[in-house]
Amino acid sequence: MQRIFLLSHMRAFTSLAGHILGSHPQINGYYEMHISYEDASALDRQSAIFQEHDALKPGSRYLFDKLLHNDYALKPERLGLTGTKILVSLLEPEQTIKSIVDLFGQKADKDLYASPIGAADYYIQRIQALADFCRTASQPYNYFDAEIFQRAPEALLPKLAEWLELDSPLSEHYQRFSQTGKPRKGDSSMHIHSGRIDRTPITYPHIVLPETVLRTAQEAYQVCRHTIIKSAADSLILE
């Protein structure tokens, strides 16, 4: 079975992406499995993890995973696979950092990501690692701005279907699965249970980011995004 890997960061609509892709009859998988892919044994582990809770679809072609943290590496040249599809996606820093702070601020235990500085450090380190991966990528990848999932899915979904060589369209409506909304499986808010793309803008007026923190993150985003787009086989970006 071939693989689809989405390389991104937290709070970049990746749970939505996983559910839309995972609802297609050719694709299995929809959540983050928290494993590295550094040799072929990781593929067996991925398949076993998925099948603990979900069955492979008859006649399906792909198994999906997303990697959102620098703790987990992807070395596609070591997997011994052909036809691997790699997607890379970034969300602009202000919304991302505020969303991370909001999410982790709701947890009972104090968390590093509940502070703007901690959240921004994670974001910057993650997008820099993604840029490094793309700069030296051994296999082609495609890039899209994560905002497009909410602002113009009618443009993004056909492009994803083209990149993945799917035999039928992707839909703005998606299934809910056995691990939907569960901790460490992606978005645990009520939004993911709606079963469709919600185009309502999300704002966090109660969160204020220090100007220096935001400026540093914005500068890193501009540099990393440029690097990633420059080396991509194809891209879909907001103008």
The whole-number pLDDT of residue 166 equals 98
Asked whether the whole model's pTM tops 0.85, one would answer yes
Q: Which tokens go with 177?
A: 């699965």
User: What mean pLDDT comes out for the span 177-200?
Assistant: 87
What pLDDT shows up at residue 185?
A: 74
Instruction: Retrieve residue 30's tokens.
Output: 């929809």
Please, what's the b/e burial string for 61-81 (b: 16 or more CB within 10 A of its CB; e: otherwise)? bbbbbbbbeeebebebeebee
Residues 6+ apart with CB under 8 A from 239: none
Q: Output Rg (C-alpha) for the chain, integer angstroms.
A: 17
Does 25 have pLDDT greater than 80?
yes
pLDDT value for 91: 98
Q: Which region among 51-55, 65-69, 108-112, 156-160 has the lowest average model confidence (pLDDT)?
A: 108-112
Cα separation, 48 vs 27, whole angstroms:
16
Phi/psi-derived region of residue 226, left when phi > 0, alpha when psi is between -120 and 50, beta in every other case: alpha
